Amino acid sequence: MNSMLDIRLSHHSGPPSVTPMDTMEKIAFLGLGHMGAPMAGRLLDAGHPLTVWNRTSGKAAPLVARGAVLAASPAEAVRDADVVITMLADPAALDAVAGAVLPELRAGASWVEMSTVGPDVVGELAARLGEGVTLVDAPVMGSTDRAQAGALGILAGGDTARVERVLAHLGTVTRTGPSGSGAALKLVVNSAVLGGLALVAESMVLARALGLDDDTARTALANSPLGGAVARAFADGVHFGTSLAVKDVGLAVEAARLPALEAVLEHYRSAAADPAVARADVARAVTHIRTSA
Protein backbone atom coordinates (compact mmCIF):
# COMPACT_ATOMS: atom_id res chain seq x y z
CA MET A 1 0.00 0.00 0.00
CA ASN A 2 1.34 3.42 0.02
CA SER A 3 3.33 6.51 -1.03
CA MET A 4 4.01 10.14 -0.31
CA LEU A 5 5.02 12.90 -2.69
CA ASP A 6 3.76 14.05 -6.06
CA ILE A 7 6.22 13.13 -8.80
CA ARG A 8 6.10 13.93 -12.49
CA LEU A 9 6.89 10.93 -14.66
CA SER A 10 6.69 10.27 -18.38
CA HIS A 11 3.87 7.92 -19.24
CA HIS A 12 2.36 5.85 -21.98
CA SER A 13 -1.32 5.60 -21.16
CA GLY A 14 -4.20 7.93 -21.78
CA PRO A 15 -7.56 8.26 -20.05
CA PRO A 16 -9.60 5.09 -19.63
CA SER A 17 -11.77 4.20 -22.59
CA VAL A 18 -15.50 3.71 -22.29
CA THR A 19 -16.24 -0.01 -22.30
CA PRO A 20 -19.60 -1.79 -22.36
CA MET A 21 -20.54 -3.29 -19.03
CA ASP A 22 -20.61 -6.84 -20.42
CA THR A 23 -16.93 -6.63 -21.38
CA MET A 24 -15.67 -4.97 -18.20
CA GLU A 25 -12.99 -7.01 -16.46
CA LYS A 26 -13.99 -8.80 -13.27
CA ILE A 27 -11.63 -7.54 -10.58
CA ALA A 28 -10.65 -8.99 -7.22
CA PHE A 29 -9.10 -6.38 -4.92
CA LEU A 30 -7.24 -7.70 -1.87
CA GLY A 31 -6.22 -5.20 0.81
CA LEU A 32 -8.46 -2.30 1.81
CA GLY A 33 -6.19 -0.13 3.91
CA HIS A 34 -5.70 3.63 3.62
CA MET A 35 -4.72 3.30 -0.04
CA GLY A 36 -6.54 0.15 -1.12
CA ALA A 37 -10.04 1.26 -0.16
CA PRO A 38 -10.13 4.43 -2.29
CA MET A 39 -8.42 2.62 -5.17
CA ALA A 40 -11.03 -0.13 -5.08
CA GLY A 41 -13.71 2.54 -4.98
CA ARG A 42 -12.37 4.06 -8.19
CA LEU A 43 -12.71 0.71 -9.97
CA LEU A 44 -16.23 0.25 -8.63
CA ASP A 45 -17.21 3.71 -9.85
CA ALA A 46 -15.81 2.84 -13.29
CA GLY A 47 -18.31 -0.02 -13.56
CA HIS A 48 -16.07 -3.01 -12.99
CA PRO A 49 -17.63 -6.04 -11.26
CA LEU A 50 -15.63 -5.96 -8.04
CA THR A 51 -15.00 -8.57 -5.37
CA VAL A 52 -13.07 -7.43 -2.32
CA TRP A 53 -11.29 -9.04 0.59
CA ASN A 54 -9.58 -7.60 3.63
CA ARG A 55 -8.15 -9.27 6.71
CA THR A 56 -10.44 -7.04 8.78
CA SER A 57 -13.70 -7.54 6.91
CA GLY A 58 -15.42 -4.51 8.44
CA LYS A 59 -13.28 -2.22 6.29
CA ALA A 60 -15.11 -3.53 3.22
CA ALA A 61 -18.54 -2.34 4.41
CA PRO A 62 -18.56 1.02 2.55
CA LEU A 63 -17.60 -0.70 -0.72
CA VAL A 64 -20.16 -3.46 -0.24
CA ALA A 65 -22.83 -0.80 0.33
CA ARG A 66 -21.89 0.61 -3.08
CA GLY A 67 -22.15 -2.72 -4.87
CA ALA A 68 -18.93 -4.66 -4.27
CA VAL A 69 -19.07 -8.32 -3.30
CA LEU A 70 -17.28 -9.30 -0.09
CA ALA A 71 -15.34 -12.56 -0.24
CA ALA A 72 -14.75 -14.63 2.87
CA SER A 73 -11.18 -15.47 1.83
CA PRO A 74 -8.55 -14.46 -0.72
CA ALA A 75 -9.10 -17.77 -2.54
CA GLU A 76 -12.82 -17.12 -2.88
CA ALA A 77 -12.16 -13.57 -4.09
CA VAL A 78 -9.98 -14.52 -7.06
CA ARG A 79 -11.68 -17.62 -8.48
CA ASP A 80 -13.58 -15.86 -11.25
CA ALA A 81 -11.38 -12.77 -11.57
CA ASP A 82 -9.89 -11.50 -14.80
CA VAL A 83 -7.63 -9.14 -12.83
CA VAL A 84 -6.39 -9.59 -9.26
CA ILE A 85 -5.00 -6.53 -7.49
CA THR A 86 -3.10 -6.76 -4.21
CA MET A 87 -2.40 -3.71 -2.05
CA LEU A 88 -0.94 -5.14 1.13
CA ALA A 89 1.22 -3.89 3.97
CA ASP A 90 4.46 -5.84 3.55
CA PRO A 91 6.12 -8.96 2.12
CA ALA A 92 4.79 -11.17 4.92
CA ALA A 93 1.19 -10.15 4.19
CA LEU A 94 1.71 -10.74 0.48
CA ASP A 95 3.21 -14.18 1.10
CA ALA A 96 0.26 -15.19 3.27
CA VAL A 97 -2.24 -14.09 0.62
CA ALA A 98 -0.25 -15.68 -2.21
CA GLY A 99 -0.39 -19.08 -0.58
CA ALA A 100 -4.18 -18.97 -0.73
CA VAL A 101 -4.51 -17.26 -4.09
CA LEU A 102 -2.08 -19.11 -6.33
CA PRO A 103 -4.00 -22.42 -6.60
CA GLU A 104 -7.19 -20.53 -7.53
CA LEU A 105 -5.97 -18.25 -10.32
CA ARG A 106 -7.37 -19.24 -13.69
CA ALA A 107 -5.33 -19.28 -16.89
CA GLY A 108 -5.51 -15.91 -18.58
CA ALA A 109 -5.80 -13.95 -15.34
CA SER A 110 -3.55 -10.99 -14.59
CA TRP A 111 -2.16 -10.28 -11.12
CA VAL A 112 -1.29 -6.64 -10.46
CA GLU A 113 0.90 -6.47 -7.35
CA MET A 114 0.72 -2.86 -6.09
CA SER A 115 2.23 -3.23 -2.61
CA THR A 116 5.70 -1.94 -1.81
CA VAL A 117 7.64 -5.17 -1.33
CA GLY A 118 10.83 -4.83 -3.39
CA PRO A 119 11.94 -6.61 -6.57
CA ASP A 120 13.18 -9.79 -4.90
CA VAL A 121 9.73 -10.55 -3.54
CA VAL A 122 8.19 -9.84 -6.95
CA GLY A 123 10.65 -12.27 -8.52
CA GLU A 124 9.78 -14.96 -6.00
CA LEU A 125 6.08 -14.43 -6.65
CA ALA A 126 6.55 -14.60 -10.43
CA ALA A 127 8.34 -17.94 -10.07
CA ARG A 128 5.32 -19.39 -8.25
CA LEU A 129 2.69 -18.41 -10.84
CA GLY A 130 0.80 -21.02 -12.80
CA GLU A 131 0.84 -21.24 -16.58
CA GLY A 132 -1.04 -18.48 -18.36
CA VAL A 133 -1.09 -16.03 -15.44
CA THR A 134 0.55 -12.64 -16.02
CA LEU A 135 2.17 -10.71 -13.17
CA VAL A 136 2.62 -6.94 -13.25
CA ASP A 137 4.41 -5.18 -10.39
CA ALA A 138 2.80 -1.76 -10.16
CA PRO A 139 3.46 0.10 -6.89
CA VAL A 140 2.19 3.65 -6.70
CA MET A 141 3.40 7.14 -5.92
CA GLY A 142 0.96 9.44 -4.16
CA SER A 143 -0.97 9.34 -0.91
CA THR A 144 -4.61 8.90 0.03
CA ASP A 145 -5.75 12.15 -1.58
CA ARG A 146 -4.37 11.12 -4.96
CA ALA A 147 -5.80 7.60 -4.57
CA GLN A 148 -9.27 9.10 -4.10
CA ALA A 149 -8.81 11.35 -7.13
CA GLY A 150 -7.49 8.61 -9.42
CA ALA A 151 -4.29 10.59 -9.81
CA LEU A 152 -1.64 8.16 -8.60
CA GLY A 153 1.68 7.67 -10.34
CA ILE A 154 1.83 3.96 -11.19
CA LEU A 155 5.28 2.42 -11.73
CA ALA A 156 4.56 -0.68 -13.79
CA GLY A 157 7.06 -3.46 -14.48
CA GLY A 158 6.40 -6.34 -16.84
CA ASP A 159 3.81 -6.78 -19.58
CA THR A 160 1.12 -4.19 -18.85
CA ALA A 161 -0.94 -4.62 -22.04
CA ARG A 162 -3.79 -6.56 -20.42
CA VAL A 163 -4.21 -4.24 -17.44
CA GLU A 164 -3.48 -0.69 -18.58
CA ARG A 165 -7.17 0.02 -19.15
CA VAL A 166 -7.85 -0.98 -15.54
CA LEU A 167 -4.88 0.91 -14.14
CA ALA A 168 -5.87 4.06 -16.01
CA HIS A 169 -8.80 4.45 -13.59
CA LEU A 170 -6.27 4.74 -10.76
CA GLY A 171 -3.72 7.13 -12.25
CA THR A 172 -0.97 7.55 -14.80
CA VAL A 173 0.99 4.47 -15.82
CA THR A 174 4.74 4.68 -16.36
CA ARG A 175 6.24 1.54 -17.89
CA THR A 176 9.49 0.95 -16.04
CA GLY A 177 10.84 -2.11 -17.86
CA PRO A 178 10.86 -5.85 -17.14
CA SER A 179 9.15 -7.60 -14.25
CA GLY A 180 10.42 -6.32 -10.93
CA SER A 181 11.51 -2.92 -12.25
CA GLY A 182 8.42 -1.15 -10.92
CA ALA A 183 9.06 -2.53 -7.44
CA ALA A 184 12.73 -1.54 -7.71
CA LEU A 185 12.00 2.02 -8.80
CA LYS A 186 9.46 2.42 -6.01
CA LEU A 187 12.17 1.61 -3.45
CA VAL A 188 14.50 4.15 -5.05
CA VAL A 189 11.92 6.92 -4.98
CA ASN A 190 10.53 6.15 -1.53
CA SER A 191 14.03 5.99 -0.06
CA ALA A 192 14.88 9.41 -1.50
CA VAL A 193 11.63 10.90 -0.20
CA LEU A 194 11.93 9.38 3.26
CA GLY A 195 15.57 10.43 3.45
CA GLY A 196 14.49 13.94 2.48
CA LEU A 197 11.91 14.07 5.27
CA ALA A 198 14.49 13.00 7.83
CA LEU A 199 16.89 15.63 6.47
CA VAL A 200 14.22 18.32 6.82
CA ALA A 201 13.68 17.24 10.43
CA GLU A 202 17.40 17.40 11.21
CA SER A 203 17.71 20.77 9.45
CA MET A 204 15.00 22.13 11.73
CA VAL A 205 16.95 20.79 14.72
CA LEU A 206 20.05 22.58 13.45
CA ALA A 207 18.11 25.81 12.99
CA ARG A 208 16.90 25.68 16.57
CA ALA A 209 20.43 24.96 17.83
CA LEU A 210 21.65 28.04 15.95
CA GLY A 211 19.01 30.28 17.50
CA LEU A 212 16.64 30.56 14.50
CA ASP A 213 12.90 30.41 15.00
CA ASP A 214 10.95 27.56 13.40
CA ASP A 215 8.90 29.68 10.99
CA THR A 216 11.97 31.40 9.55
CA ALA A 217 13.78 28.09 9.02
CA ARG A 218 10.74 26.34 7.59
CA THR A 219 10.04 29.13 5.10
CA ALA A 220 13.64 29.19 3.92
CA LEU A 221 13.68 25.41 3.48
CA ALA A 222 10.34 25.50 1.65
CA ASN A 223 11.86 27.93 -0.86
CA SER A 224 14.92 25.73 -1.37
CA PRO A 225 15.34 22.65 -3.59
CA LEU A 226 13.95 20.68 -0.62
CA GLY A 227 10.58 22.41 -0.96
CA GLY A 228 8.66 19.27 -1.86
CA ALA A 229 10.05 17.38 1.11
CA VAL A 230 9.23 20.31 3.41
CA ALA A 231 5.63 20.33 2.20
CA ARG A 232 5.30 16.60 2.87
CA ALA A 233 7.05 16.81 6.24
CA PHE A 234 4.36 19.17 7.51
CA ALA A 235 1.40 17.80 5.51
CA ASP A 236 -2.10 17.24 6.89
CA GLY A 237 -4.89 15.08 5.54
CA VAL A 238 -2.75 12.35 3.98
CA HIS A 239 -1.52 9.07 5.38
CA PHE A 240 1.61 7.00 5.01
CA GLY A 241 2.28 5.18 8.27
CA THR A 242 5.62 5.49 10.02
CA SER A 243 5.72 1.69 10.28
CA LEU A 244 5.63 1.58 6.47
CA ALA A 245 8.57 3.98 6.35
CA VAL A 246 10.53 1.55 8.51
CA LYS A 247 9.60 -1.29 6.16
CA ASP A 248 10.50 0.59 2.97
CA VAL A 249 13.85 1.98 4.14
CA GLY A 250 14.63 -1.44 5.60
CA LEU A 251 14.11 -3.03 2.18
CA ALA A 252 16.43 -0.44 0.63
CA VAL A 253 19.31 -0.96 3.03
CA GLU A 254 19.05 -4.72 2.52
CA ALA A 255 19.56 -4.20 -1.21
CA ALA A 256 22.73 -2.06 -1.13
CA ARG A 257 25.24 -0.46 1.21
CA LEU A 258 23.58 2.87 2.05
CA PRO A 259 25.12 4.49 5.16
CA ALA A 260 22.98 7.64 5.02
CA LEU A 261 19.78 5.63 4.72
CA GLU A 262 20.90 3.36 7.55
CA ALA A 263 20.92 6.48 9.76
CA VAL A 264 17.50 7.45 8.38
CA LEU A 265 16.21 3.98 9.22
CA GLU A 266 17.28 4.42 12.84
CA HIS A 267 15.31 7.68 12.99
CA TYR A 268 12.15 5.97 11.79
CA ARG A 269 12.66 2.93 13.99
CA SER A 270 13.01 5.19 17.01
CA ALA A 271 9.83 7.04 16.09
CA ALA A 272 7.91 3.82 15.42
CA ALA A 273 8.80 2.50 18.88
CA ASP A 274 5.85 4.62 20.01
CA PRO A 275 2.81 2.66 18.77
CA ALA A 276 0.82 5.85 18.24
CA VAL A 277 3.54 7.26 15.97
CA ALA A 278 3.97 3.91 14.19
CA ARG A 279 0.31 4.02 13.13
CA ALA A 280 0.30 7.73 12.33
CA ASP A 281 1.34 9.50 9.16
CA VAL A 282 5.07 9.88 8.64
CA ALA A 283 4.76 13.60 9.42
CA ARG A 284 4.47 12.51 13.06
CA ALA A 285 7.85 10.84 12.72
CA VAL A 286 9.31 14.15 11.51
CA THR A 287 7.96 15.78 14.66
CA HIS A 288 9.46 12.96 16.73
CA ILE A 289 12.89 13.49 15.16
CA ARG A 290 12.70 17.25 15.75
CA THR A 291 11.63 16.99 19.38
CA SER A 292 13.80 14.08 20.47
CA ALA A 293 17.13 15.46 19.25
Which residue from 90, 193, 211, 89 is spatially nearest to 142, judged by alpha carbons?
193
Task: Give the bridge partners for 134, in sequence order.
Answer: 110
Task: Give the bridge partners for 84, in sequence order.
Answer: 28, 111
- List every span in the chain annotated with CATH 1.10.1040.10: 185-292
- List every span in the chain annotated with CATH 3.40.50.720: 21-177
Distances (CA, A) of 249 to 92, 105, 147, 187, 193: 16, 32, 22, 8, 10
pLDDT of residue 66: 96
Distance CA 236, CA 41 (A): 22
pLDDT of residue 23: 75
pLDDT of residue 293: 73
Domain 185-292 of CATH type 3.30.470.20? no
Ordered per-residue pLDDT tens for the chain, 293 residues: 444 444 334 444 444 443 443 478 999 999 999 999 999 999 999 999 999 999 999 999 999 999 999 999 999 999 999 999 999 999 999 999 999 999 999 999 999 999 999 999 999 999 999 889 999 999 999 989 999 999 999 999 999 999 999 999 999 999 999 999 999 999 999 999 999 999 999 999 999 999 999 999 999 999 999 999 999 999 998 899 999 999 999 999 999 999 999 999 999 999 999 999 999 999 999 999 999 97
Residues marked active site are found at: 186
Distance CA 126, CA 182 (A): 14
CATH fold label, 21-177: Rossmann fold (3.40.50)
